[in-house]
Chain A
């Protein structure tokens, strides 16, 4: 029974590499790395870590930045859902969620940086007419020491993620009826939503929220672009140490990786404490029974921030698009004096191979993930048991910071004698793609009315026929959306691709990041747009294909 094995297989595929990678970070963290002459265990790497200039600040920024970015993103999403459900803005935002989600983190960060920098688009639009600036002002905005621009960049990217997860979970709550009931008791709509829907919604999106905390406290690429520099966040420091030509720094870097694990764990723990506190406050607030105090404020707080976040994300991408065709662009010109297609013409010949690799790897990882997830969910349906408890381990790759185990994983792979190849990268991407595919598909799969299965069985269809002829076609739309999410996740991966592929396999993302080192904003613009365009194509297919296939099936329009 292949199906029975699916949950075990998934857990092994995800957990084993992470544990092995962590082990190979843990050993050097305590001085054991024979190839570098570290033969015995010692605390020297930790002493070196503690002596790093600014290490305390690095840790503090990683910890606080992760928590603040998560809290803000969650607040924006919940307030929006409370205030805007059913409005015109709501339909509009829902349509934009997928494209927003598909903008890779790095591209969004570049976009934001170019928007708000003192030499950026906003300053240019306002200068010199409003500001009188002929030269860019000497202001510390991007990469500020408090990590505010980093937090802003993270919020812009995490809001669509949490929103998508909430929208996927909401249908099981029957939110409309709950709100209607509360309104009939005299509650204003936004307050009603917060009091009767939000407390039920939160447990359903808790794991995605944890994933956001873990990500935000350990992110590398966004922090490199927007984060503070003197010192940088812990994750960025670790990457610097790992890539230091002085090979002895490897011990320090490994200790740092373990410290990062601790910082992320501490952030999760702190969040857990905040959850408790919020729960008490909410209970008190609900019990007080206020029905309309603050409704107007809530409506505004629900709509403004999400509009701002969405607007900034798209304006940033727009800015990238302009730079990708810009000739020389002197401050404070709002638009470049000359436009040129040179940058595109230069990049196009080089696009083919990375593009092919990207698509191949993304499709491989996503199809594999989809097959495994379907097998696990189908097994769940057939045995009638709910999720195997071990499946929460699925979220391990989302909770354990990449930087903490990937370097160790490369050493393990080397020891197993595996050669870098597309296959190995597909396997590496699977670690991150699978949880997201599961997260996106499981709700729809579990929610499907069991009577469809019973009906099909009593009509004589075998369990396999039920899967292929009933469940799969009925779930086509959510399945394709889950695949599009998987593709987007795979396309955005940098560290796993670079490390497991020994740098030999280049994807649009590795190209974009290595060109980013060159700092030519115009070339970055080109590659960031390509990088953002690919997942967008995936989402377009995921939304368009079911519409096309089911154009004569009204019952499938907007089906689960």
Chain B
């Protein structure tokens, strides 16, 4: 979990037809958070979709995504080892809290249960394993979503405005919690946001995207 990883984005270009949307060349070290900022329509979500492996067919992209020097570009989403954190916690409604945490966890039974319990305890939710996710509070859900991401042992993380729907006081706490864990895990992360405070809390370099078709 603490093996350091390095994510390099080499000469990325994304176009919609003839319109260039995003151009980016960056490198993210272990535990580092690169923040990409820009108003809506600037291609932030398209960039994330490309990195995660879900780019819709109408977009054309060039460039390479290198994880520890390995080219991820040709791989399908599930084999890239890139985790995602969304605006909403998106806990699977048909699974228990523990079921959600187990979803991305490789390995065998007994060991899994122990790791799930440990992860819950780690974010102050010990004993919540059998709970229905719909009964958790917003902050609790966000914490479960974070632990689910970390348990799936990604090599890099994408954050899609993960704090924008939280209350102000929760937002501060979650920012701290998320960035702490990402740093601790040594994961290179890319944060997409339009909230300058997010960028400040992330503490890493910031890139501004401008609106498309300028």
Contacts and interface: CB of A to CB of B under 8 A. Distances in A.
The answer on A and B forming one complex is: yes
Interface in A426-469: 450-452, 454-463, 469
A384 B54 CA distance: 9
Nearest to A452: B90
A458 B132 contact: no
A554 interface: yes
Contacts of B133: 555
Contacts of B149: 459
Contacts of A458: 52, 77-78, 80, 82-84, 152, 154, 158
SS class, residues of chain B in contact with chain A: loop
B52 A554 contact: no
A288 interface: no
B103 A554 contact: no
Given A454-B54, A555-B132, A555-B134, A461 B92 contact: no
B86 interface: yes
Contacts of B92: 452, 470, 474
A457 B53 contact: yes
A461 B78 contact: yes
Interface residues of A, number: 27
Contacts of B86: 451, 455
A454 B103 contact: no
The size class of the interface chain B forms with chain A is: 20 to 34
**How would you classify the secondary structure of chain A's contact residues: helix, strand, loop or mixed?**
helix
A288 B111 CA distance: 69
A554 B154 contact: no
A13 to B, nearest CB: 28
Residue of A450, A457, A473, A550 most packed against chain B (CB within 10 A): A457
Interface string B146-163: 001100101000100000
Contacts of A322: none
A177 interface: no
A230 interface: no
A384 B57 contact: yes
A67 B52 CA distance: 52
A461 B77 CA distance: 9
A277 to B, nearest CB: 37
A457 B77 contact: yes
Contact of A457 (B78, B93, B106, B132): B78
Nearest to A463: B78
A155 to B, nearest CB: 39
B56 interface: yes
B134 A554 contact: yes
Nearest to B133: A555
A557 to B, nearest CB: 9
Contacts of B158: 458
Nearest to A549: B94
Contact of B93 (A455, A459, A463, A555): A555
A552 interface: yes
Contacts of B83: 458-459
A554 B78 contact: no
A382 to B, nearest CB: 10
Interface string B21-63: 0000000000000000000000000000000111011000000
Given A461-B103, A554-B135, A555-B133, A473 B82 contact: no
B104 interface: yes
A452 B95 CA distance: 13
Interface in B55-89: 56-57, 76-78, 80-84, 86, 88
6 contacts: A457-B54, A460-B78, A461-B78, A461-B104, A553-B93, A555-B134
Given A452-B90, A459-B83, A556-B93, 7 more contacts: A456-B103, A458-B84, A460-B104, A474-B92, A476-B94, A550-B94, A552-B132
